Structure 1
Amino acid sequence: IFVSGAGNDLNEQMLVQHFGSIGVIKMDKRTDSAKVWIYKDKSTGVPKGEATVTFDDPATAKAAIDWFNGKDFNGNTIKVELAQRQ
């Protein structure tokens, strides 16, 4: 899923805790950590308030979109949608 509007004080742990409450987040076999990516400003390294979270199951991703879209995350109203491959 693609998350936007999450604020620039975002970190991986916050995302795993929040979105992991609805289902299992896929683990990266190479790094043995959750498949969560936070987009950062190239020049400053500050998070842009956008991230992708990969779930083990497509049905869980759909449930996460339905459940979290338009809701509060860390004091910000977030938009949650299906991530588009680029």
Structure 2
Amino acid sequence: MSWWCVDQLRGGEHMAEVYEFGLTLEGDCDDLTDELLGRLHAAGCDDGTVAWQNGRLFIAFDREAASLEEAIASATADVRRAGYEVKAVP
């Protein structure tokens, strides 16, 4: 998955950027349970779409931030807060 940015404008003034990117998480996942999804949502991953892909947990984010690096860093911190580790940023 590649990333992309959408500029949001309000009254001609640059307000924020939304970056689209994905994170593959460490470990195997057998099922997307309500508990797993609830933990991710409560940790701040509510701007991501969670999927089970090739036996791994994957989250596609649309995250508002000042830069792509900041968006990925904040998403990674949220994933860790939920008790998971990031394996890759595809």
- Classify the TM-score, shorter chain: 0.3 to 0.5
Q: If the length of structure 1 is used for normalisation, what is the TM-score?
A: 0.46
Give the structure with the larger strand fraction. 2
TM-score by length of 2: 0.44
Return the index of the structure with the highest Cα Rg: 2
